[in-house]
Amino acid sequence: MQASVQAFFEPVTGTVSYVVYDRDGGHAAIVDPVLDYDPKSGRTRTTSAEALVGFVREHKLAVQWILETHAHADHLSAAAWLRQQVGGKVAIGEKITEVQRIFAGVFDLGDDFARDGSQFDHLFAAGERFSVGELTAEALFVPGHTPADIAYRIGDAVFVGDTLFMPDVGSARCDFPGGDAATLYRSAKALLALPDTTRLFMCHDYPPAGRAPSWETTVAEQRRANIHLNDGVSEADFVALREARDAKLEMPVLILPSVQVNIRAGELPPKSANGVAYLKIPLNLM
Ligand SMILES: [Fe+2]
């Protein structure tokens, strides 16, 4: 069954969020919602997430799921705020526990930070089936960018997370803690083994000069034209090119704030005694 898909492009971080639904008046999943964050002032805003709420209300959708493809390192998740507004279960891949363990070390989080994924309402196992209204759906385990990435197939649409990018951009980086280029290659090849006409929806777009942002492509187009992962690129070629490129990339501007919020399912850290929540900055570690 064909899923209805509405994309929302957030230009500051190049992130694409989605509302996926079966029909007007039916059921929906929200994929990778963004909580706006200004690093200069430390202030969060819900402008981007409010657009999702507006769409959900306009189309009279019952939100069943708020799906994270992974613990993002470039933007904060609006999942916790959205659940208060429109409901739905906040879900991520079950290997998030590994990411929580890694970053509990990086941020020296104490015993009150649970590393069992319990901040989320649901943890998906590889290949787990679920539904969005009348649409069948499946959690596809696609590690490599992080150890925990999930792509979501909902109806005929696949939300690939940070695996493939648009054909002229290529692929997601693999140099964050727990990332691995060979693993990403195998995950991407599994996605590209889906039927040629499968609609693929990107998590990000960083368009080259002169091209407008875009986020939808197909398996056939990626196999033909993806600059990192077309059918002619071997695993060894990919690993060499991905690792050379990653060695030159700076950390994302928002990695430190993002990860601290996203491993908590989009909740801000607990408030201090003065009623203010704080983020930590590890010095000379990353
Ligand atoms: Fe990411």
For 237, phi and psi rounded to 5 degrees?
A: -60, -45
Q: Model confidence at 35, in pLDDT bands (50, 70, 90)?
A: very high
CA of 60 to the centre of ligand 1 (A): 30
User: Cα–Cα distance between 269 and 256 in angstroms, integer?
Assistant: 13
Residue 27 pairs in a beta bridge with 62
CA of 18 to the centre of ligand 1 (A): 15
Summarised one tens digit per residue, pLDDT across range 71-95 is 999 999 999 999 999 999 999 999 9
CA of 42 to the centre of ligand 1 (A): 21
Q: Model confidence at 203, in pLDDT bands (50, 70, 90)?
A: very high
Residue in this structure with the two tokens 């409010």, named with its chain if needed? 50
CA of 65 to the centre of ligand 1 (A): 20
Summarised one tens digit per residue, pLDDT across range 212-254 is 999 999 999 999 999 999 999 999 999 999 999 999 999 999 9
pLDDT of residue 165: 98
Summarised one tens digit per residue, pLDDT across range 156-200 is 999 999 999 999 999 999 999 899 999 999 999 999 999 999 999
Nearest to 179 by CA among 195, 163, 166: 163
Summarised one tens digit per residue, pLDDT across range 94-144 is 999 999 999 999 999 999 999 999 999 999 999 999 999 999 999 999 999
Cβ count within 10 A of residue 268: 17
Contact (CB, 8 A) for 191 and 164:
yes
pLDDT of residue 221: 98
CA of 204 to the centre of ligand 1 (A): 8
Nearest to 142 by CA among 97, 185, 79: 185
User: Cα–Cα distance between 157 and 5 in angstroms, integer?
Assistant: 8
CA of 185 to the centre of ligand 1 (A): 16
pLDDT of residue 52: 98
Three-state DSSP class for residue 100: helix
CA of 111 to the centre of ligand 1 (A): 26
User: Cα–Cα distance between 148 and 64 in angstroms, integer?
Assistant: 22
Mean local confidence (pLDDT), 249-262: 96
CA of 98 to the centre of ligand 1 (A): 15
Mean of pLDDT over the chain: 97
User: Cα–Cα distance between 215 and 72 in angstroms, integer?
Assistant: 17
pLDDT of residue 1: 83
Q: Where are the domains of the chain?
A: 4-263
CA of 74 to the centre of ligand 1 (A): 6
Beta strands at 89-93 and 43-45: parallel, antiparallel or unpaired: unpaired
Please name the fold of domain 4-263.
Answer: Metallo-beta-lactamase; Chain A (3.60.15)
Q: In this model, does residue 286 exceed pLDDT 90?
A: no
Contact (CB, 8 A) for 58 and 24:
no
Cβ count within 10 A of residue 249: 9
CA of 273 to the centre of ligand 1 (A): 33
